Structure 1
């Protein structure tokens, strides 16, 4: 083999190795951004709106009645909707807004993993519903969707309807979820949810005050944005290497102890 051919093959191998390293680095950045990008998105909004964001969801008019928690609500002051086995070794606490695109990004990336772990009995999830985007951009979609989700909990259909709401999330500036008719239409995607009781709960805003209390508790907790996700008390957004696979590994390791 000529020296020229040997040099050509060596250069080709070097180029291939370089491309592989570039791909590995890109994959690593992409995995980290599953969580990282969402944080930037929410914090960027909060920085723009300032005090307005801090006060969102806190309106309690004279017409507001006592907070009516949905069936089975748990956690401190019954402000969480639980999913999974109560005695599961690991607990994931989530603060979410159905209008929040970063929340949808989290759900898209982690949903199948969370479902797998809750169904296996190794993870319990506690969902706290927040109205951050209503305050950031105006409108009422965060509140209306959260109330409807609480109504679905009354019917024992929260996990399914929760996922439907995120799948149907409009553009952040589009307040489509403020329409109760839209929320009821989406209930058709969940078997046996669209009932007279569910419709009345949605239209009457049965859980509006409870949602506002949940949002106030979120802000009092000093959290910086949505989604906030705590696994066994630790904020997973502080770990830039977090991925669904690592999340699963942590939960399964806890279950094996």
Structure 2
């Protein structure tokens, strides 16, 4: 391996680590703000709770109903059907990826490992389970994570998930630019995937068919107490904690696990 290649891989690992640390810090700040705001809200709530109770009727809809039914994309699997699978079910190893389409660290991971993951999946050696979350929406505000994740779920129903997934990362805007909040932009990008830009796909994107499913996936991410994206686990083991990880090393890990 040339010195240039080694430096490139080292730089990619450093960018990935830096972005994940940035996410953790942002999440910590957000939680601190939420706790502080909650205290204020509770104090205010005590003064008006009697009035609210007196004027409240029976609201049978509830917040879950208001958010719409949880509609999993076609072929979703895993616990509660919250994962989008890529690769053969017979593969001996499973790679779980918890990701956010607005997340710069996720793009760094994709750019570095995409071809290796595709090769292993195509060879029947690896099954990938993609879990879509909305961490950046929560940290930076906006709705691009949710809108992009819903569109990706729509592409799964159309049988085009992997290609569209890659297109989203290849065209990822800056983290502070909530461009993916625009459904028209997501539909425009679908034109880069043969056979995806259909009336059915457009309707799915515009209706937010899988919004509640994406929100449920993010809730599962929070319940698991994962602290950042991407969270990547090979056969249940976190692999990004290994600062020396490279595509070649990852491939070897899979091959060893499959023996």
TM range (shorter): 0.7 to 0.9
CA distance in 2, matches of 1:181, 1:29: 37
TM value normalised by structure 1: 0.84
Structure 1 residue 49 corresponds to structure 2 residue 30: yes
Q: Which residue of 1 aligns with 2:124?
A: 121
Cross-structure match for 1:229 = 232
Q: Provide the rounded CA distance (Å) in 2 between the counterparts of 1:52 and 1:88.
A: 44
* Structure 2: unaligned runs, 5 residues or longer: 36-62
- Which structure 1 segments of 5+ residues have no match? 1-21, 55-59
Contact kept in structure 1, 2:12 and 2:112, CA below 8 Å: no
1:242 maps to what in 2? 245
Structure 1 residues 53 and 197: alpha-carbon distance in aligned structure 2, compared to 1, 3 A threshold: farther
How many residues in Structure 1 have an aligned counterpart in Structure 2? 230
Residue 178, structure 1, aligned to residue 181, structure 2 = yes
Once residues 34 and 6 of structure 2 are traced to their aligned partners in structure 1, the CA distance between those partners, rounded to angstroms, is: 36
Residues 12 and 108 in structure 2, CA contact (< 8 A), matched pair in contact too: no
Task: Determine helix, strand or coil for the equivalent of 1:113.
Answer: helix
> Cα deviations across residues 184-232 of structure 1 (Å, max 9, x unaligned)?
0000000000001000000000000000000000000010111100011
Larger radius of gyration: 1
Tell me the distance in 2 between the aligned counterparts of 1:129 and 1:53: 23
Q: Contact 1:53/1:135 (CA < 8 Å) preserved in 2?
A: no
In structure 1, how many angstroms separate the alpha carbons of the residues matched to 2:226 and 2:34? 12
Any idea what the Cα deviations from partners look like across 1:67-91, whole Å, max 9, x if unmatched? 0000000000000000000110111
Q: Within 2, Cα distance between the matches of 1:164 and 1:242?
A: 25
Please, what TM-score do these two structures have when normalized by structure 2? 0.83
Whole-angstrom CA distance in 1 between matches of 2:213 and 2:245: 32
Q: Deviations over 1:147-190 (max 9, x none)?
A: 00000000000000000011111011111000000000000000
